[in-house]
Amino acid sequence: MTKETFTFQAEVSKLLDIVAHALYSQKEIFIRELISNASDACDKLRYESLTNPGLTGGSGAYQITLTTNKKAKTLTVSDNGIGMNRDDLVETLGTIARSGTQAFMDTLTQAKAAKDKKKNGANTSDIDLIGQFGVGFYSSFMVAERVEVVTRKADEEAAWLWISDGTGEFTIDETTRDQHGTDVTVYLKKEDKEFLEPQRIKHIVKTYSDHIGIPIILAGVKKDEEDQTLNQASALWTREKRDISDEDYKEFYHHVGQMWDEPWLTLHNRIEGVISYTNLLFIPSSRPFDLFNPERKAHLKLYVKRVYITDNCDELLPGYMRFVRGVVDSEDIPLNISREMLQHNPALEKIKKALTKRVFNELKKKAEKTPDEYAKFWDNFGAVMKEGLYEDFNNRDMLLELARFRSTTQEGLISLKDYVERMPDGQDAIFYIAGEDAEAIAQSPQLEGFKAKGIEVLLLTDPVDEFWIPSIGTFEEKTFKSATRGGADLSAIGKNKSNSDAKSEDGATSDGGPDNAKVEPLIAAFKVALGDKVKDVRASERLTDSPVCLVADDGDMDMNIERLLKQHNQLSDSTPRVLEINADHALITKLAKKAKAAEGIDAAVEEAAFLLLDQARIVEGEPIADPLAFSRRMAAVMEKGLGT
């Protein structure tokens, strides 16, 4: 076959340029990434050989071998794993399929820019992101003049040679290899020859890859020099906790989770009984880039008797815990189980139930003992955890207990139990307001009356909030009620209901509620002027500073969920809203007098009705129905206000 030349995918070319010129101080990570890839290749072949023993071809135990050649300035990482064929090389080493690649490259670009700005050789901390998006192989170009890959896929005779200098192209040609597996040979730059020194390699492997469960062997350079095994070569999760350091856990988390932060929580347990298994789970301290991908992919590896079965096992934890990384190794699942049979295995269902309970219990401990730390967890993963409120009925009570919210009266995060305990006499609902930004919705005119009476309102900013609230309905017999809906009876809260109808001498209600009588002519005029553009016009209990606001009528769709559905093209028509007016506002008072004195519909009152409706829409972040008419009316009002 004739040698073929390919051009890297555009994103890969951009990435390679950044990597090649980023001048990372921790160039050593390329060895970690190549070893990690080799380990994965061995794991995959081990799984495939369960159903097809002939794949291994009698190649013996799995191992990863590091070979140096100082004369040629090469470091070769070899494995006897599953290998690749021509198509695999094009797809795996020519493209980046993982989601979030652009975000990764943007971050890497920013890191490079920051590094370029440093002065006088001052040390700056580098962002160690290589590998997080399935691009670990490309890290070798930080130190390489050229990279060659010789590979042969298990159960295939043909072997292939992949070559690139990382400048935009790569070639693929046929070659030979005695057995399946892959050799990655890095031709090191002159300034990076340190990676040929045995002591340097030993230190790197011990630091980053000691947890790898496959022997990592440094081949002897001289004829009489013995090969050396550099790692413990036992799966980390099988070791006793007392023999595992925090650094060991961290590096294993980096390896298995493809995350490069510190683990926020580590759960390492060995369970023996009817179902025996070991779990080593990690909760990240930062939010993964793919957390909200529609696939909701899990990130747990399943092993059976230390034999790799599958990545991304969805059957080990519920979907709303997909941020958890780690491994589960079972003794009671058939070794030859197929990926298709996993979802029907009763042992997995029992493991899932036990793991879910354990994660819940650990989160509860964190919430009670270290609430500040738990608040950081909830900021990262609360939106995902709340998915369980409408899809996991069995664990709903625990999820409600763990849920945290921001509110209008408290700093930081609060629980629903905290909210209910602070509710004043007469309040029979948990009030909330939903939107995209907590600070913005906290300033909504619809909350003015709540603030005036000191009534706490939850600030909900996650799209999922609009879905779990209707499915929950109540918490401790208190219903959830949107502050943007009509019919919020604030007058009874914190007051003796027997006095709620008392009137003051000036005709206003004694509890400070609106005096509907004085604005009835204006309400009537607004109804006529606005027609079907609003569902109703009412005097408001909730407004104290603003003249008007829009609310959803009881039984109608909440305003925020309507906006969400429109954004996703799930709804085209808008539901007419109720326009509430502040009877005590100076502008409304003047308009009310003008409407009362007028015979028929006053033109100024009619214009004001449309202006105030548009103003209410602007405050809600909604588009104005007729921008030209709004501009004309606003210009007329300003002209009249300035006089002649």
For 35-60, write each residue's pLDDT tens digit.
988 998 998 898 888 878 888 876 67
Provide the pLDDT for residue 310: 81
Number of domains in the chain: 3
> Residues, the chain, total?
644
Residues 50 and 18 in one domain: yes
* Domain endpoint, select from 232, 266, 287: 232
Residues 270 and 190 in one domain: no
Instruction: Write the single-letter amino acid at 40.
Output: D
Residues 325 and 439 in one domain: no
Provide the pLDDT for residue 502: 42
- In a domain? residue 391: no
Task: Give tens-digit pLDDT for 292-334.
Answer: 888 888 999 998 888 778 888 889 999 999 999 999 999 888 7
- In a domain? residue 119: no
Residue 77 has pLDDT above 60, yes or no: yes
Query: 256 is written with which tokens?
Result: 């298995």
Residues 320 and 424 in one domain: no
Instruction: Concatenate the DSSP letters of all residues of 108-161 into one string.
Output: HHHHHHHHHH--TT--------TTTTS-GGGGGGGTEEEEEEEEE-TT---EEE
Tell me what the pLDDT averaged over the chain comes to: 85
| Range 56-74 average pLDDT | 89
Which position has the higher pLDDT, 420 or 570? 420
Q: Which domain holds residue 492?
A: 405-496+511-642
Which position has the higher pLDDT, 248 or 20? 248
Residues 245 and 198 in one domain: no
Residue 29 has pLDDT above 70, yes or no: yes
Provide the pLDDT for residue 56: 81
Judge contact between 65 and 217, C-beta under 8 A. yes
| pLDDT bucket at 234, cuts 50 / 70 / 90 | confident
- CATH number of the domain that 74 lies in? 3.30.565.10
Residues 22 and 167 in one domain: yes
Provide the pLDDT for residue 637: 86
Task: Give tens-digit pLDDT for 179-202.
Answer: 999 999 999 999 999 999 999 999
Which position has the higher pLDDT, 15 or 93? 93
Q: In 501-558, which residue ranges form alpha helices assigned H by DSSP?
A: 516-530
CA distance 519 to 515: 7
Contacts of 439 (CB under 8 A, 6+ apart): none
Which position has the higher pLDDT, 571 or 159? 159
Least confidently predicted of 77-86, 137-146, 428-437, 598-607: 598-607
Residue 416 has pLDDT above 90, yes or no: yes
CA 499 vs. chain centroid, Å, equals 50
% of the chain with per-residue pLDDT over 70? 85
| Range 407-427 average pLDDT | 95
Residue 572 has pLDDT above 50, yes or no: yes
Packing angle of the helix pair 10-21, 101-117 (nearest 10 deg): 30
Cα dist from 352 to 236, 316, 357, 383, 501, whole Å = 21, 5, 9, 21, 57
% of the chain with per-residue pLDDT over 90? 56
Strand partners, 66: 77, 218
Q: In 299-444, which residue ranges form alpha helices assigned H by DSSP?
A: 346-369, 371-385, 388-391, 396-402, 416-422, 438-442
CA distance 322 to 130: 22
Query: 604 is written with which tokens?
Result: 């100024």
* Domain endpoint, select from 313, 343, 378: 378
Residues 65 and 209 in one domain: yes
Q: In 234-387, which residue ranges form alpha helices assigned H by DSSP?
A: 246-257, 346-369, 371-385
Contacts of 513 (CB under 8 A, 6+ apart): 490, 491, 541
Residue 391 has pLDDT above 90, yes or no: yes
Task: Give tens-digit pLDDT for 210-221.
Answer: 888 899 999 987
Question: Among candidates 278, 21, 236, 29, which has minimal Cα distance to 132?
Answer: 29
Residues 302 and 189 in one domain: no
| Range 498-516 average pLDDT | 48
Residues 483 and 568 in one domain: yes
Residue 487 has pLDDT above 80, yes or no: no
Residue 110 has pLDDT above 70, yes or no: no
